[in-house]
Amino acid sequence: MKVIFGINELEASGLSNVITTLGSFDGVHAGHTRIISTMLEHGRDKGLAPVLLTFHPHPQIVLGRRGPTELLTTLEEKLQLFEKIGVDTVVILDFNRQLASYPPENFVRDVLIDKMGMKALVIGYDHAFGKDRSGNKELLERMSKSDGFDFLVVPEFKINNQTVKSTIIRELLKAGEFDLARRALGYNYFMTGKVIKGHGVGKGLGFPTINLAIPSGKLLPKDGVYSALTSFDGVQYAGMAYIGARLTFGDTSISVEVNLFDFGGKTDSDHAALELTDYIRPPEKFKTPGELAQQMKLDEIEIRKKFSNKEALS
C-alpha cells in the first residue's frame, strides 16, 4: 500500500483519474468499511484509481471540542485495516487549525480536484468537513454538478436499530459490551504496544506475563480479564489478558498484561499486538496472592474452553 504524507508529497505524486473518500475513519468500523468498499467497487466499475484521504492527528484532538479523545485506532493500526480492506493508496494530511478553517469549496477544488485529480467522491450520509463543518452532502451535491465529478452517498449502517458510529463503539468497549462492539467494528478490538519490563508479579503467581505500553490516546476498554490473542515475531498465541490496576497488591496504576498459553520461551520482540476476544470478568481485590492465583487458574480453564469451542465451530 502506498502512503502519501502531506500536500508536498501529494503534489509530487502524479495522481490522476481518482475516486476518493475522506475522513478520520477512527476504528475503521463496519460503517467505514461500507464507505471504503463502495469507493473500491465504483472505482473498478468506472476505471478510476481509488485513493483514501485521511487526517492526522484526529480533528477532535486539535480542536478539543469533546475533551480528551480516546482513539479506537492509532495511525499505524488504521493503515493496517485500510490495507486489509483492499486500499492501495492512502493520503494523510496534517490536520491543524488552518486546515479546519479551510472553506470546503476551496478544499474540494484546490486539494481533491487540482492536486488529486478527483473524478468521483464517496462520503457517508452524515459526513461534514471544512470551516464550520459546512462541507456536507448538500454542498457536495451542488458542487458535483458545477465542477463535474461523480458523487455517491452511502446510507447509515445500523446494528440492533443503532447507527454504527465511533463514539458509540467507544461507549460499548468501555462498558464491556464486547459482542456488540465486535459486530459494530467488524473485527475483535485490538491494541498494539511496546513490550516493557513488568514487576514480575505474574511470574511469581505462576502466570508469567508480557506487559504492553499502549500509546497515549488509545482507548483502553473496560478493566478486567479477557480472552486474547497476542501476536509477535510473526506468531499468534492464545492467552488471557488483564487490563487495570493490581488491586491485590495495592498498585493503582493501570497495566496491560497478557499470559500466553503454551509459550515457554522469551520474546525479544519490541512490540506485540493484543487482540481481545471475550470479556471474562471485572477486576477483583483478593485477600492474598494465593487466592488471586487460584482465580487465575479458573480464568485459564474458562478461556481455554472458549478457544476450544471456537476452534470446533470453525
Task: Give per-residue pLDDT as tens, 86-136.
Answer: 999 999 999 988 888 889 999 999 999 999 999 999 999 999 888 878 889
Which residues are registered as beta bridge partners of 22? 53
Which residues are registered as beta bridge partners of 241? 226, 258
Task: Give per-residue pLDDT as tens, 48-70.
Answer: 999 999 999 988 888 876 566 79
pLDDT at res. 74 = 96
pLDDT at res. 312 = 56
- For 157, what's the count of Cα atoms within 13 Å in the CB-facing half-sphere? 19
Which residues are registered as beta bridge partners of 190? 275
Burial 267-279 (b: 16+ CB within 10 A, else e): beeeebbbbbbbb
SS (H, E, C) 262-279: CCCCCCCCCEEEEEEEEE
Question: 165 near 156, Cβ under 8 Å?
Answer: no
The fourth-level CATH superfamily of domain 2-163 is HUPs (3.40.50.620)
Q: Which one, of 108, 118, 152, 107, lies nearest residue 17 by Cα?
A: 118
- Mean per-residue pLDDT pooled into runs of 10, the chain (314 residues): 96 97 97 98 98 92 72 96 98 91 94 97 92 89 97 94 94 93 96 88 87 95 97 92 93 94 81 96 95 96 92 56
Q: How far apart are the first and last CA of the chain?
A: 30
Q: Which residues contact 160 (CB under 8 A, 6 or more apart)?
A: 180
Question: 4 near 56, Cβ under 8 Å?
Answer: no
pLDDT at res. 66 = 58
pLDDT at res. 100 = 85
pLDDT at res. 65 = 61
Residue with cell 506485540: 272
Whole-angstrom distance, CA of residue 206 vs CA of residue 264: 12
Q: Fill in the amino acid letter for 162.
A: Q
Phi and psi torsions of 86, nearest 5°? 120, 15
Global pTM value = 0.93
Q: Per-domain residue ranges for the chain?
A: 2-163, 188-313
pLDDT at res. 135 = 87
pLDDT at res. 310 = 75
Q: What is the architecture, at CATH level 2, of domain 188-313?
A: Beta Barrel (2.40)
Give 3-state DSSP helix, strand, coil % of the chain, rounded to 5. Answer: 40, 30, 30
Q: Which residues contact 59 (CB under 8 A, 6 or more apart)?
A: 24, 95, 100
